[in-house]
Amino acid sequence: MIFAGIAFAALLFIGMPIAFVVGIVSMGLMFEAGGSQFLLLVPQRMFAGLNVFTIMAIPFFFLAAELMSASKVIEDIMDFADALVGRLRGGMAHVNILNSAFFAGVSGSAIADIASLGAIEIRAMEAHGYDKRFATALTVASSLVGAIIPPSIILMLYASIAQVSVASIFLAAMVPGFLMVALLMLVVMLLARKYNFPRRETRIPPREFVAIGMRASLALMMPVIIMGGIVSGIFTATEAASVAVLYVLILGLFIKRTLKWGDIAPALLRAGVMTSVIFMVLATANVFGWFIGLERLPEAVASGLTGIASDPLTLLFLITGVLIVVGMFMDVGAALIVMAPILAPAAISAGIHPIHFGIVMSLTLVMGLSTPPVGPCLFAAASVSKLKIEAISLAMLPFYAVQLIFLAILILVPEISLALPRAAGFIN
């Protein structure tokens, strides 16, 4: 395992994609453990990692987000966010945050948020007199909401790995998601007072406000359909994702008529590429997960961690610290797939609720999307804004502080994540 750790770090350092790193290291471990006979199990375990009904929702949610972007329904969402908070001091910054919150109910991905909204939001904030570095940093920070508020791809992965209910983990993420939105808006309010951020001076007449709300309601109904269907048991997460695609197609092609038939093929291609990246990691990580289970590594790690910190709260802070470092260097999906089978048993054996641990672990790793040196959201925002990573990272400092406060609140107050699933009867 020491050799595997060194090989893992070395391959990552030279820039090899994480799926191949995990696959090569896993094959080496399998060969060392059982020779060529164990290697015959590799393709079987890779297939088993993908032969899970729940994760079939991932490509559908990616496709729904791509179709939503292509149909320009996002413009209705942005107009509605501006109508709600544009008159506040720092109005465009608040609009940026609300855009991400609304779009999160469609995309389930922080990267999709930046890809769809990033350029529009940064240009709009610049046009209203905001510093470009601040606009870009806020766009990165608010994009993380897309990976928190359901339907979150990361939470769906955790549900598949930890064998917990998708509905329960989605419900558990609702309050944390809106808590993050509130914390970001609070920071913007404080900065707006200090730096006298601009706001929209004109008022929107009540009739126009209603018209904007009606247009946006067509897009905002989609998260309601997804969560309502999953929680009520009408359909599974995978079926909900396919319903979301059908809804966007009907909305874009026949109701708004802003989606063209020629837009569907490029959207399918982009969704397929994003899906292939995650599925390749899932396949190779399942080989690694099978091996560490065979070697009883989770039990050894659980014993070691509980020996260091037997108190559940201390243990959770310790694990969170480790995950913050891991998230800085590994892709969030890959880190979750590799680390969850090792850390979840340790947390559960210490008395931490699996749903609470899943929320803390997943959202800690989500923070890694915005941290250097390999934060994907940082690089996506740098590409959109043409700023250097260093400049964006410095402008992100207030938001990094918000993220740490957010994680501390989640750890110290488990009911933030457990209250809704408990009230719905999914957990005791």
The encoded tokens of residue 389 equal 């990573």
Q: The tokens 């108190």 sit on which residue?
A: 311
pLDDT score recorded for residue 302: 64
Taking a C-beta distance cutoff of 8 angstroms, is the pair 89, 199 a contact?
yes
HEC-encoded secondary structure of the chain: CHHHHHHHHHHHHCCCCHHHHHHHHHHHHHHHHHHHHHHCHHHHHHHHHHCCCHHHHHHHHHHHHHHHHHCCCHHHHHHHHHHHHCCCCCHHHHHHHHHHHHHHHHHCCHHHHHHHHHHHHHHHHHHCCCCHHHHHHHHHHHHHHHHCCCCCHHHHHHHHHHCCCHHHHHHHHHHHHHHHHHHHHHHHHHHHHHHCCCCCCCCCCHHHHHHHHHHHHHHHHHHHHHHHHHHHCCCCHHHHHHHHHHHHHHHHHHHCCCCCHHHHHHHHHHHHHHHHHHHHHHHHHHHHHHHHHHCCHHHHHHHHHHHHCCCHHHHHHHHHHHHHHHHHHCCHHHHHHHHHHHHHHHHHHCCCCHHHHHHHHHHHHHHHHHCCCCCHHHHHHHHHHCCCHHHHHHHCHHHHHHHHHHHHHHHHCCHHHHHHHHHCCCCC
Note the pTM of the prediction, 2 decimals.
0.85
pLDDT score recorded for residue 190: 94
pLDDT score recorded for residue 73: 83
In this structure, the number of other CB atoms found within 10 A of the CB of residue 367 comes to 24
Give Cα separations from 236 to 106, 162, 221, 332, 428 (angstroms). Answer: 16, 17, 18, 24, 21
Taking a C-beta distance cutoff of 8 angstroms, is the pair 179, 420 a contact?
no
pLDDT score recorded for residue 35: 67
Q: Which stretches in the chain have pLDDT values below 70? A: 1, 34-35, 37, 297-299, 302, 306, 374
Question: How many whole angstroms separate alpha carbon 293 and alpha carbon 94?
Answer: 46
pLDDT score recorded for residue 367: 92
- Would you call 389 exposed, middle or buried from its count of C-beta atoms within 10 A (0-12, 13-18, 19+)? middle
Taking a C-beta distance cutoff of 8 angstroms, is the pair 160, 368 a contact?
no
End-to-end CA distance of the chain: 38
Name the residue among 312, 356, 359, 318 with its Cα closest to residue 336: 359
Question: How many whole angstroms separate alpha carbon 346 and alpha carbon 308?
Answer: 12
In this structure, the number of other CB atoms found within 10 A of the CB of residue 312 comes to 18
pLDDT score recorded for residue 32: 79
pLDDT score recorded for residue 263: 94
Question: How would you label 34-53 residue by residue, b for 16+ Cβ within 10 Å and e otherwise?
Answer: eeeebeebbeebbeebeeee
**Helices 415-423, 354-367: crossing angle, 10 deg rounding:** 130
